[in-house]
Amino acid sequence: MRVLRSFFSVFGLLGLLLFLGCDKPPADGPKKVRWDRDSCERCRMLLSDRHFAAQILDAKGDYHLFDDPGEMLLYLAEKGHNDPKAKLYVTDATTGRWLDGRTAHYTEGHLTPMGYGYGAREQATADSLDYMAVQKRILDGEMGAPAPSADAVDPVHSHSDNGADAPTHSPMQH
């Protein structure tokens, strides 16, 4: 009887520890996104394109997820978030890896989920923009997406499951 009670105590404690540790975001770094389940903080669309997602880890430790880097930048402006302690993350348009949103290099001409058209990259290119430049363009309503056409192709992705059919709209329409 005593062995049985010890057995249940040990496994109960392990179960409790596993339960408490599940789905906890890391103390620092991007949150693990539940693709096609988590929604954008600004437009409520599901995050599904792993090449154009973004997120904020604010000073309070709360995460805010976005389906397009443009949505994150508009959210920051609309909410008056200028806290340098907040961490910004964007996915690399070519690899899908998370990058620091403030040090990433942005290129235009992408078919992004909400049509802002800016994709992040780890390495600078001849035509890339820094964070402040892309933020200014987004806030000024300058879309970096290619002009819509029947045969539009994203320069990074040649497949059609990257949000090419997503509606484009003015940055302030929501």
Could you read off the pLDDT of 13-42 as tens digits, one per residue? Answer: 444 444 444 554 445 899 999 999 999 999
Query: Would you list the domain boundaries of the chain?
Result: 34-159
pLDDT at 10 > cutoff 70? no
Report the share of the chain in percent with pLDDT over 70: 68
Amino acid identity of residue 19, one-letter, is F
Could you read off the pLDDT of 111-165 as tens digits, one per residue? Answer: 999 999 999 999 999 999 999 999 999 999 998 877 665 555 555 554 444 444 4
Amino acid identity of residue 135, one-letter, is Q
Phi and psi torsions of 77, nearest 5°: -70, -45
pLDDT score at 32: 96
Inter-CA distances, 21 with 36, 42, 170, Å: 23, 28, 41
Task: Judge whether 59 and 44 are in contact, CB under 8 Å.
Answer: no
Inter-CA distances, 5 with 8, 13, 77, 103, Å: 5, 12, 57, 55
**Coil, strand, or helix at residue 64?**
strand
Rounded Cα gap, residues 130 and 106, in angstroms: 6
pLDDT at 90 > cutoff 90? yes
Whether the model clears a pTM of 0.85, i.e. scores above it, the answer is no
More confident residue, 139 or 80: 139
Ramachandran region of residue 79, left (φ > 0), alpha (ψ -120 to 50) or beta?
alpha
Phi and psi torsions of 108, nearest 5°: -105, 170
